[in-house]
């Protein structure tokens, strides 16, 4: 898509957002003059009645009007409260796909094209769509399983969703570049890099084989867990645009009355949910990153069964240690240790004061500890943490944002199950066990043994390393004596590359100039 078209699509999106009163949610006191003027203009075209709507309702209405790509953008920005602010992130976190299904005949064509067999051959029965979202929709089907039939769920990707997302993506990039131009301070948050991350995430989500692989990996983690389960994959009936898994028999976690009538202990489910999430994140560095009520079921054995593995999160060993120590530090009110962990991880520049940062953390933690258990909110804690990061020049940690957002969602689900849910009490045993296993005396002995093993491997490789070093030293001595020589072919290639680079630079300047003129004309007309 050309730059002018991208900007025109962006203007259209801005009009829809303004009409739904979304821009009125943005803070203005510290915004640059150009941004304040734009927000003032947006207020002039806001439709009547939006003041009676909550933030979540306004965002839902606007993004659903704009279509699947913008729904995904909203869900993604819910993971970035550092950019949109904790309040708007919370509203975006409630965004759920509300998209009409596409025709059953189209779904059958997609399945046939992907699996090279007709639906009637693959399945003994195939229903109309039972659920539809921005990326795909789900059908209920049955397959022959020996002398019986097995019920399965068939997820089918929307037609042309990749093409539509690619078009909207150009508008997202245009918006990111515009934000950076109008508000230079936003460059710390790297808006263009944010769009890059969104593009990678959705590209993976639009290949259902990748989702199947994530589900398969999670099933290995869950196989010995009596409290958690995932459906099995039918690989023979799975392709890029089709995913077939076992049908989940259970109650949705959103069905609170149904859970109570079925005799499930909702308080135990609330505790199990947060502990399952933390065990996955800390022990395996791999977790379901979209754990809202619609993706969680409870089966007859009171196990939590997860579906929809399109959005997954990963964190490395360093981030796991950081997470465990930070949360445990808040539980124990050890603010100096929390500050030290930030500095040890390199998340706060060494030029800052550890003691001052600990004081700021105390300002975050103490008001929360002064509240009753049901009022202690992880969402509130994270919101306050984001407020102090800029004071200490702390860079955004993108690898932790998905985890933090998921934790807030999980907390919300747990509170819906038990209004008196104490997240800190539920989390403490998992955090304590992980810290004991990974940072206690036994773990240090294991780390020492691993270190000795590494030293042993290095000693074994010393003769080869010494030999390579001797060769490199001799080559440098020869070069110093004889000088660096290039043959005629090498010189010719260097001249060719230099000439091509000069031509490319001139072409780039011309393209930039033409694009700037086109954008100017688009604004004029």
Say what the alpha-carbon torsion angle 500, 503, 509, 514 is, to the nearest 10 degrees: -120
Domain range annotation of the chain? 3-96, 99-173+201-247, 249-439, 486-525
Packing angle of the helix pair 191-205, 161-182 (nearest 10 deg): 170
pLDDT for the residue numbered 446: 45
CA distance 437 to 1: 53
Report for 81-95, 195-209, 269-283: range of highest mean pLDDT: 269-283
pLDDT for the residue numbered 104: 93
CA distance 176 to 121: 47
Kindly state the average pLDDT of the residues 12-41: 77
299 or 167: which leads in pLDDT: 299
Considering the candidates 290, 334, 418, 437, report the single residue annotated as catalytic.
290
Q: How confident is the model at residue 508 (pLDDT cuts 50, 70, 90)?
A: very low
User: Is 223 in a helix, a strand, or coil?
Assistant: coil
User: Is 55 in a helix, a strand, or coil?
Assistant: helix
Percent of the chain whose pLDDT exceeds 70: 71
The pLDDT mean for the chain works out to 78
Q: What is the per-residue DSSP string for 411-461?
A: HHHHHHH-TT--HHHHHHHHHHHHHHHHHSHHHHHHHHHHHHHHHHHHHHH
Residue 444, pLDDT above cutoff 90: no
Are 64 and 212 in contact by the 8 Å Cβ rule? The answer is: no
Q: Mean pLDDT check: name the lowest of 57-61, 129-133, 154-158, 379-383.
A: 379-383
Mark whether 290 is an active-site residue.
Answer: yes
Residue 401, pLDDT above cutoff 90: no
Kindly state the average pLDDT of the residues 354-371: 81
User: Is 307 in a helix, a strand, or coil?
Assistant: coil
Q: How confident is the model at residue 476 (pLDDT cuts 50, 70, 90)?
A: low
In angstroms and rounded to an integer, the radius of gyration of the C-alpha atoms of the chain is 27
pLDDT for the residue numbered 515: 43
Q: Mean pLDDT check: name the lowest of 63-77, 147-161, 287-301, 334-348.
A: 63-77
Kindly state the average pLDDT of the residues 420-436: 86
Residue 499, pLDDT above cutoff 80: no
pLDDT for the residue numbered 507: 40
Q: Mean pLDDT check: name the lowest of 26-40, 241-255, 286-300, 413-427.
A: 26-40
Structure tokens at 374: 């049901």
Residue 178, pLDDT above cutoff 70: yes
pLDDT for the residue numbered 524: 37
377 or 289: which leads in pLDDT: 289
CATH number belonging to domain 99-173+201-247: 3.30.200
- The values of phi and psi at residue 46, to 5°, are -65, 135
pLDDT for the residue numbered 17: 82
How would you write 369-403 as a 3-class SS string?
Answer: HCCCHHHCCHHHHHHHHHHHHHHHCCCCCHHHHHH
CA distance 213 to 235: 10
Packing angle of the helix pair 317-332, 423-439 (nearest 10 deg): 130
């Amino acid at each position: 898509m050309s730059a002018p078209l991208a900007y025109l699509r962006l203007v259209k999106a801005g009009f829809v957002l303004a009409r739904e009163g979304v821009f009125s949610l943005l803070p203005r006191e510290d915004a640059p003059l150009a941004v304040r003027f734009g927000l003032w203009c947006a207020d002039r075209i806001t439709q009547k009645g939006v003041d009676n709507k909550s933030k979540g309702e306004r965002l839902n209405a606007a993004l659903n009007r704009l279509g699947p790509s913008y729904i995904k953008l909203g869900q993604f920005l819910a993971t970035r409260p550092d950019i949109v602010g904790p309040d708007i992130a919370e509203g975006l976190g409630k965004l759920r796909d509300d998209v009409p299904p596409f025709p059953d005949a189209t779904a059958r064509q997609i399945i046939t094209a992907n699996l090279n067999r007709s639906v009637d051959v693959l399945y003994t029965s195939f229903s109309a769509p039972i659920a539809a979202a921005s990326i795909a929709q789900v059908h209920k089907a049955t397959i022959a399983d020996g002398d019986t039939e097995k019920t399965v769920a068939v997820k089918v990707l929307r037609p042309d969703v990749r093409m539509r997302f690619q078009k909207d993506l150009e508008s997202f990039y245009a918006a990111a570049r515009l934000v950076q131009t109008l508000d230079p301070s936003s460059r710390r948050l790297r808006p263009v890099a944010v769009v890059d991350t969104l593009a990678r995430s959705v590209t993976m989500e639009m290949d259902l084989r990748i989702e199947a692989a994530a589900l398969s990996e999670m099933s290995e983690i869950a196989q010995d867990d009596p409290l958690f389960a995932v459906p099995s994959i039918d690989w023979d009936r799975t392709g890029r645009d089709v995913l077939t898994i076992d049908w989940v028999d259970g109650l949705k976690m959103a069905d609170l009355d149904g859970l109570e009538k079925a005799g499930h202990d909702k308080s135990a489910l609330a505790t199990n949910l947060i502990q399952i999430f933390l065990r996955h994140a800390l022990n395996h560095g791999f977790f379901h990153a979209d754990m809202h009520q619609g993706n969680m079921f409870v089966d007859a054995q009171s196990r939590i069964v997860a579906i929809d593995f399109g959005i997954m999160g990963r964190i490395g060993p360093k981030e796991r240690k950081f997470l465990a120590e930070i949360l445990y530090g808040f539980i124990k009110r050890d603010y100096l240790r929390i500050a030290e962990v930030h500095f040890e991880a390199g998340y706060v520049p060494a030029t800052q004061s550890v003691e001052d940062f600990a004081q700021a953390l105390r300002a975050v933690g103490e008001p929360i500890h002064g509240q009753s258990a049901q009022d202690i909110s992880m969402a509130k804690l994270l919101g306050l943490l984001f407020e102090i990061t800029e004071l200490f020049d702390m860079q955004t940690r993108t690898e932790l944002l998905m985890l933090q957002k998921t934790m807030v969602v999980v907390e919300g689900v747990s509170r819906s199950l038990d209004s008196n849910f104490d997240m800190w009490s539920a989390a403490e045993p998992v955090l304590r066990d992980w810290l004991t296993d990974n940072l206690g005396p036994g773990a240090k002995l294991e780390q020492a043994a691993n270190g000795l093993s590494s030293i042993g491997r290095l000693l074994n490789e010393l003769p080869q390393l010494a030999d390579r070093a001797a060769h490199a030293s001799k080559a440098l001595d020869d070069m110093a004596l004889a000088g660096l020589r290039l043959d005629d072919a090498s010189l010719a290639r260097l001249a060719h590359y230099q000439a091509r680079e000069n031509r490319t630079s001139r072409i780039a300047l011309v393209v930039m100039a033409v694009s700037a003129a086109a954008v100017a004309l688009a604004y004029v007309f």
